[in-house]
Amino acid sequence: MLAMPITMGKEVLAVMMAVNKVNEPEFTKQDEEVFSKYLSFVSFVLRQHHMAYLYNIESRKVQVLLWSANKVFEELTDIERQFHKALYTIKAYLNCERYSIGLLDMTKEKEFYDEWPIKLGEVQPYKGPKTPDGREIIFYKIIDYILHGKEEIKVIQTPPADHWSLVSGLPTYVAEHGFICNMMNAPADEYFTFQKGPVDETGWIIQNVLSLPIVNKKEDIVGVVTFYNRKDAKPFDEYDEQITEILTQFLGWSLLNTDTYEKMNKLENRRDIAYEMLMYQTKATTGEIESILKYKEKLNTNIIEDCEEKQLIQILVLTRWMYTVRKGYRSVTYHNWRHGFNVGQTMFTLLMTGKLKKYYTDLEAFAMIAAAFCHDIDHRGTNNLYQMKSASPLAKLHGSSILERHHLEFSKTLLHDESLNIFQNLNKRQYETVIHLFEVAIIATDLALYFKKRTMFQKIIDTCEKMETEEEVIKYISIDPTKKEVIMAMMMTGCDLSAITKPWEIQSQVALMVANEFWEQGDLERTILQQQPIPMMDREKGDELPKLQVGFIDFVCTFVYKEFSRFHKEITPMWDGLQNNRVEWKSRADEYDEKMKVIEEEKKKQEANTAPKAEEDLGSTGDDKKSKTCQIL
Amino acid sequence: MLAMPITMGKEVLAVMMAVNKVNEPEFTKQDEEVFSKYLSFVSFVLRQHHMAYLYNIESRKVQVLLWSANKVFEELTDIERQFHKALYTIKAYLNCERYSIGLLDMTKEKEFYDEWPIKLGEVQPYKGPKTPDGREIIFYKIIDYILHGKEEIKVIQTPPADHWSLVSGLPTYVAEHGFICNMMNAPADEYFTFQKGPVDETGWIIQNVLSLPIVNKKEDIVGVVTFYNRKDAKPFDEYDEQITEILTQFLGWSLLNTDTYEKMNKLENRRDIAYEMLMYQTKATTGEIESILKYKEKLNTNIIEDCEEKQLIQILVLTRWMYTVRKGYRSVTYHNWRHGFNVGQTMFTLLMTGKLKKYYTDLEAFAMIAAAFCHDIDHRGTNNLYQMKSASPLAKLHGSSILERHHLEFSKTLLHDESLNIFQNLNKRQYETVIHLFEVAIIATDLALYFKKRTMFQKIIDTCEKMETEEEVIKYISIDPTKKEVIMAMMMTGCDLSAITKPWEIQSQVALMVANEFWEQGDLERTILQQQPIPMMDREKGDELPKLQVGFIDFVCTFVYKEFSRFHKEITPMWDGLQNNRVEWKSRADEYDEKMKVIEEEKKKQEANTAPKAEEDLGSTGDDKKSKTCQIL
């Protein structure tokens, strides 16, 4: 016998043999040479064939991966749907008669009331097989893909232990140990007893079985996939193992998606629950509304006319909305309902007394007043920068105009409740207009955007000033939604800052409230963020308030009220009030400067004397500082 | 010249040529034959080589897909991190000197304040290239992977338009049209002007460029990947295109993950914001606490001792918690604070008057009373089945004991606020004990679990009854946490149902409140779910209340109070009260039966007469029904 191996790399692909030399007792040296020469040609053909086989394997892998990826990324879905979509899509590349997926129960812990009977010794604890992470092995569902004969998919809910696919114990074994099991001749296996005869009415019989665990990135076994009977009747080989392993690995990894799906659903539900509870707690109660409107008495009068009843309901909704907005404001030092109410009231005044109403429809004016009432709802007494620095959920949600976007969102949320929706009778187009105005008006109260709109506002007024008739001005503005928005946005600023135009007794008090809220934020920055607050928020620098107020008037407020007064002379009283307050603040700022100059000179004089003595004096200056907030008034 | 093609399938791999026959003017027929025979051998070798090349391509595809999948599924992350992780991991399979990814700005719409200048005509609208879905093409970041020489990664934030990778205009072109562009000889290209000389200090020069768009499942172009200079200096071929296309396709699909990541973050933030607002609205205010405790007066007395101050703070926390729990209850018909308070109070009575305290530590007893007060917090006046049927967010969140799990979660949420945490002074182990008791106690109020614990409870009492000394009983129960839990769980049921043991005047009133809440749910089922309510919840069957009460006493309540009275004779008054109420309900039920019998007979008699007349009479019976709720009392 003359035998030689055909190899590819280190792998032996085949052995070629020549048996029984004709007419000679053995093969000669020459035979060997000829044999070897022919061998190299034969082996060449064989290698070519093998390479083509390997190429086919690899391209099936690519297809399996691509198609399952395509399905897995289609949308977020639950584990069953995801596995099903992926496994169904790749059926053409699997080259087997059947395959099935068994899904494992992922519950690790029992409820306390199910543990009681075990703990009390009334029920035996579970002693059956468990997954490596300690779960009882329970297949709650089997999905069976039948590719031989008529294609079919069977779903078996909570399959019995003697179901043909489970009875051998192989899926349980795979789930217990996490091994890949390739049973070349399943019926002959001694360890696992597979069903010998046909498993169902199709007459189909198990021959070869390849079973793999699906493992997620946390290394938990979540299911078992089993492939039955290669289509060419051969046993599954190492390349089949490779393809199916790649597949199950990918499916296992992709469970990140199904976990996310579940987590997301839970989050959505939790958010919905919290919002519903929030609305329940915030919404004005019947009792609260009754404390304002004596509507029950009215309703009890049996003789109310149709139009009266409709009106009454409108008043009820408006009252409930207003009371709820009020409850939505927190009792912080400055940005509380008092401020919210003032801004709404000032918007009304600007429109009516200030005669700005003429550019807007009734609906627009209503929306503007409503937005003004809502504009600082649920303010927390700290500004946008503080939200960012403290990394509050609000700052994580909104990239800019953080609080303003929150005021807007909450205002809109209130309107989602029909019993609070003051715009419920509007048609879709009107409702969208109102919501758009809410958006522009409330976001516009972010002072960071103030400088963006300044020149645009000024240009409009410049143009109007040159016009000869009022009609011309009204037309110029009314026909252009953008101009109306710019003016409205500046009106919001005018309302928001209007305390600065109030009589001195009021302005001085309000300024202190604003300052106190700033100082409280400064305290938080020092204690919680461990940062040094800016002078405006630094309680220790409270003496500088008059100077800060003068600066604020000069750089922010003056423009607003001066331009509005130029635009509509009816608004001049606000401009006058502002100028008067500037005089007051300026005199206090000068007074403080004077005082500081004296102290500075005193200090210099003393520094010329001994050093220790100077320190003592500085201490007493510090004491003065602490009680300065009262001096402002 | 003699020329012949070498083919593989339909593809021409090469052409073999013999040029200028030696000593003859042309090739002979015989030459052709020899040539053809040699050709088949040469082509065999060539095909083998080509197949190996194709195999290599396919296995690189598998690797690229597997490695990027491995990274993409590692965790949820943002687009930059995900792309970076995937692209870095597969660098070995890319076979090029450099590659880079340009990330596109995904913002579609501008803020209103940025649109104003355009709408007012002050700024020219954008006229540059846009993506197919209408975004301005802005690369906000470029990540540059350098594989030649010393490996390096460069990140260019908001790259200038003349950055070497952008200056040619190719990435913008790819982003605009979504084409794959393979530039065989980039420097020679006329349409795109690539940088001719070295792009940086390494002296590296662009030769070949392959650029592809990354497209998500919504068909939006989110970025552009560009590969430079194949390592063997050849241009990129169709197989390179295949590999990179598979890669970019996969990356594009995997954007589902980064979208989810962002969505999830937003959801989490929204939930956090809603919870914080809910806590603000629910938590007892200083004013509300002051209305109960006059603590400010006390605190103003400057001479309070240390221990007194500590006590005062404890009382403050307890009061704030209690008031907040009260506010957490809704003003529904039955499951309101009145019920919550009663259950807490009854728990106290069972422990003290009922002498059950002896099995529990002070801390356990405190936890049990606190849990009893909280046990129905935020009840909506509808039961678990209604949550399921109406698919409320609560039902989507909790699989079983829906409302009970909600009461528990909200009770625990309240404790997360330090100023409400009545257990703040406990150590970790103690705190965990308390939370566990809360869980068992509150979930145990789900009547669906009542039958699970009945026999366990009875067995404990049977055993205790046979014991001779009290000490023996105390020891038997106290050393076993499970027995204590079972008894506590039954105590919770005893408290929850205790209204049924109250003097008849009270019980009859409370029963009506329960019934009214049921009927309200029945109304909702009829109007909202459009289902027929069960008799217990059917307002039309209100007359059957006494019968239902008798049934409820017999099948649920009797066991509880009879067994507790057998266990501790001090609890007998509850058992007596129950029996008395049964007599009352029974007599009313019998009365009703009697009345119905008479009506039934009357009806039969009338049916013997004319049919139309009978109908009229039935109508008047219906009227009687409507006003029956008062008859019960």
Segment holding B470, helix H or strand E:
helix B470-478
What is the tens place of the pLDDT at every residue in B438-457?
999 999 999 999 999 999 99
The pLDDT of residue A441: 98
Question: Is the pLDDT confidence value at A25 over 90?
Answer: no
The pLDDT of residue A619: 43
Which residue in chain A is spatially nearest to B47 when comparing CA positions?
A48
d(C-alpha B183, C-alpha B461), whole Å: 87
User: Is B406 an 8 Å CB contact of chain A?
Assistant: yes
d(C-alpha A258, C-alpha B256), whole Å: 12
User: In the predicted model, what is the mean pLDDT of residues B378-390?
Assistant: 97
Mutation choice for A interface testing from B269, B279, B440, B445 by most A CBs within 10 A: B269
User: Cβ–Cβ of A66/B250 closer than 8 Å?
Assistant: yes
Pick the range with the lowest mean pLDDT from A623-632, B107-116, B145-154, B590-599: A623-632
Question: Is the pLDDT confidence value at B492 over 80?
Answer: yes
Task: Give the number of other Cβ atoms within 10 Å of residue A338's Cβ.
Answer: 14
d(C-alpha A364, C-alpha A357), whole Å: 9
The pLDDT of residue A453: 95
The C-alpha angle A325, A327, A328, rounded to 5 degrees, equals 60
pLDDT category, A132, cuts 50, 70, 90? very high
Give the distance from residue A132's alpha carbon to the nearest chain B alpha carbon, in angstroms.
Answer: 21
pLDDT category, B596, cuts 50, 70, 90? very high
User: Cβ–Cβ of B48/A44 closer than 8 Å?
Assistant: yes
Pick the range with the lowest mean pLDDT from A231-235, A361-365, B107-111, B293-297: B293-297
User: Is A53 an 8 Å CB contact of chain B?
Assistant: no
- Name the residue type at position B185: N
Tokens for A515? 């300052």
Q: Confirm if B225 and B244 have CB atoms less than 8 A apart.
A: yes
Q: Confirm if A494 and A561 have CB atoms less than 8 A apart.
A: yes
User: Cβ–Cβ of B264/A265 closer than 8 Å?
Assistant: no
Q: Confirm if A186 and A194 have CB atoms less than 8 A apart.
A: yes
What is the tens place of the pLDDT at every residue in B322-348?
999 999 999 999 999 999 999 999 999
User: Is B93 an 8 Å CB contact of chain A?
Assistant: no
Mutation choice for A interface testing from B112, B332, B412, B459 by most A CBs within 10 A: B112
Give chain A positions within 8 Å (CB) of B120: 456, 459, 482-483, 486
Q: Confirm if A212 and A180 have CB atoms less than 8 A apart.
A: yes
DSSP tag of B253: H
What is the tens place of the pLDDT at every residue in A238-284?
999 999 999 999 999 999 999 999 999 999 999 999 999 999 999 99
What is the tens place of the pLDDT at every residue in A481-538?
999 999 999 999 999 999 999 999 999 999 999 999 999 999 999 999 999 999 999 9
pLDDT category, A292, cuts 50, 70, 90? confident
User: Is B49 an 8 Å CB contact of chain A?
Assistant: no
Question: Is the pLDDT confidence value at A633 over 50?
Answer: no
| Marked catalytic residue, from B335, B339, B379, B406 | B335
Give the distance from residue A25's alpha carbon to the nearest chain B alpha carbon, in angstroms.
Answer: 35
Q: Give the nearest partner residue to B51 out of A52, A117, A453, using CB atoms.
A: A52
The pLDDT of residue B149: 86
What is the tens place of the pLDDT at every residue in A362-373?
999 999 999 999
d(C-alpha B51, C-alpha B45), whole Å: 10
| Marked catalytic residue, from A49, A50, A84, A335 | A335
Give the distance from residue A214's alpha carbon to the nearest chain B alpha carbon, in angstroms.
Answer: 15
The pLDDT of residue A205: 94
Give the distance from residue B299's alpha carbon to the nearest chain A alpha carbon, in angstroms.
Answer: 22
DSSP tag of A134: S
- Long-range contacts formed by A183-192: CB under 8 A, 24+ apart: A183/A208, A183/A209, A183/A210, A183/A211, A184/A208, A184/A235, A184/A236, A185/A235, A192/A168
User: In the predicted model, what is the mean pLDDT of residues B269-288?
Assistant: 92
Pick the range with the lowest mean pLDDT from A415-424, B245-254, B610-619: B610-619
Query: Which span out of A19-28, A589-598, B283-292 was modeled with the highest average pLDDT?
Result: A589-598
Give chain A positions within 8 Å (CB) of B397: 266, 269-270, 273
d(C-alpha B184, C-alpha B210), whole Å: 8
d(C-alpha B420, C-alpha A545), whole Å: 37
Give chain A positions within 8 Å (CB) of B51: 48, 51-52, 55
A416 catalytic per annotation: no
Question: Is the pLDDT confidence value at A625 over 70?
Answer: no
User: Is B273 an 8 Å CB contact of chain A?
Assistant: yes
User: Is B50 an 8 Å CB contact of chain A?
Assistant: no
Cα-Cα-Cα-Cα dihedral of B177, B182, B188, B193, to 10°? 30
Give the distance from residue B439's alpha carbon to the nearest chain A alpha carbon, in angstroms.
Answer: 9
Angle, in degrees to the nearest 10, between helices B306-328 and B337-352: 130
SS3 B55: helix
For residue A364, what are the CA distances in angstroms to A348, A475, A487? 12, 16, 13
User: Is B609 an 8 Å CB contact of chain A?
Assistant: no
B171 burial level (CB within 10 Å; 0-12, 13-18, 19+): buried
pLDDT category, A624, cuts 50, 70, 90? very low
| Residue with token string 């083509």 | A52
User: Cβ–Cβ of B330/A280 closer than 8 Å?
Assistant: yes
